[in-house]
Amino acid sequence: MSPYVHASCDRAAAQAVQCRRAVKDPVGILATTILASSLAFIDGSVVNVGLVAIGRNLHADAGELQWVIDAYLLPLSALLLLGGAAGDRFGRRRYLNIGIAVFALSSIVCAVAPDLKILLLGRLTQGMGAALLLPNSLAILGQSFTGEAKGRAVGLWAAAGAVAGVIGPLLGGWLIDLWSWRAMFLINVPLAGGAMALARRFVAPDPASNGERLDVAGALLATAGLGALAWGLTVGSSPAGWTRAAVGGTVLAGVALVAFVALEGLRGDRAMMPVALFATASFVGLNLLTFLLYGALSALLVLVPYFLIEASGYSALAAGAALLPLPITLALTAPLAGEVAGRGGARVLLAAGPLLVAVGFALAMRIDAASSYWTDVLPAILVISIGMVGAVAPLTTAVLSSVGAPHTGVASGFNSAVARAGGLFATALLGFVFAVHGPELVIEFHAALITCALSCLAASLCALPIGRD
């Protein structure tokens, strides 16, 4: 085991104690972090049921519709690590509020967008805001609780995030049927105002900076590498295929990320993302599991509503409601799973959960254009829901517990970046589903489901080394 990973420095320990003493209302802290992070989770999925309506209104083809999703995921994946590191250095409450404000303003841009270019610009800046608020909301939560209380709190946070992500299509479908796809973005404005008010009321002021500088070179390399990788994958899976731009972006990503790892190794403890964190099999396994499992979940949230609308003639609201068992199951049981993981370890839950999700994806192979919701769609969604309970909250708890106090922000940012990268990778590869219709759509839909099942099986295997460092 690397002593660096679980060591705590005096400054970080003092700050953690100070923050915990300042927590007069733990329910308020929990409400603040859940509401703030829900903005990012909801908007990551709410547009899934709006793609058809957006395409018709703005005259966008399949490749352009894919960018409505990826324009949000690309900056989110690229900047999460930087957002977590900036919060660690300069104040988590400060960067949480900046992220919320950016997110709210860009949501208004999306809502009033007269054409696809302005919509994509708004989605891009939404991703930037989410990259600031998401890791810092989790870091604030992690520094405010300890022991079993931390496990319960993180379990509630993770469950609420998963619920928000899945309830997004339902909310979006209702707003589309009631008014327009533009209402999906306007709903973020009052939520953002509430999150900022709660942060001001319940989150302790940031401690004074000790003058430590941000690893600017590392931040630039990480952002360039993650951004170029996201760009390359997105363009490569579009109808244009692996053009020079796609290949060039992927090569640039490889060079930048290798340079980032080399630089962080040279900087040691002063690095934005200390490479010593990867000295444990637990941290590596947790992040591989995150990438594979959340990639499959992201594909599910896009695939099922799109297929039900396009192939089975569902309304936007009905397609969103098809996924409703997932958030209900998570809301009822994930906090308990987080508490169990905080008390007795997460390895068994993290191995069994993804395995059950894989079974659910296999059951979903029965879905076709004429399928019954109750006998074909619902059983698969229920099995996937139960499997996700065993993974969502324990995974977040395990990630925060695998690093020392000075790096909870950057670790949560990295893990969130990995989750979003998994979603971006999966969404980027779904271009072949969006490009076909009729019987071909059923074939490609089933091929995507098989890929998701295999991804979940691999995620289950990644849980085996957890806790054995």
As a whole number, mean pLDDT of residues 458-468 equals: 85
pTM confidence score: 0.72
Mean pLDDT over 419-427 rounds to: 77
Between 69-73, 294-298, 426-430, the lowest mean confidence (pLDDT) is in 426-430
> Largest Cα–Cα distance of the chain, in whole Å?
63
Q: Which of 433, 295, 287 is nearest to 361 (CA)?
A: 295
Give how far Cα 170 sits from Cα of 46, 329, 414, 436, Å.
Answer: 8, 15, 29, 25
Domain coordinates in residue numbering, the chain: 16-214+272-462, 215-271
Q: Is pLDDT larger for residue 11 or for residue 305?
A: 305
Which pLDDT belongs to residue 107? 94
How far apart, in whole angstroms, are the C-alpha atoms of residue 411 and residue 359?
30
Give the model's confidence band at 95: pLDDT under 50 very low, under 70 low, under 90 confident, else very high. very high
Listed range (158-167, 185-194, 207-216, 346-355) with the worst mean pLDDT: 207-216
Is the pLDDT reported for residue 382 higher than 90? Answer: yes
Query: Does 94 or 235 have the greater pLDDT score?
Result: 94
Q: What pLDDT score does 6 carry?
A: 30
pLDDT of residue 383: 96
Of 59-63, 370-374, 461-465, the least confident: 59-63
pLDDT at 109: 96
What is 16-214+272-462's CATH superfamily?
MFS general substrate transporter like domains (1.20.1250.20)
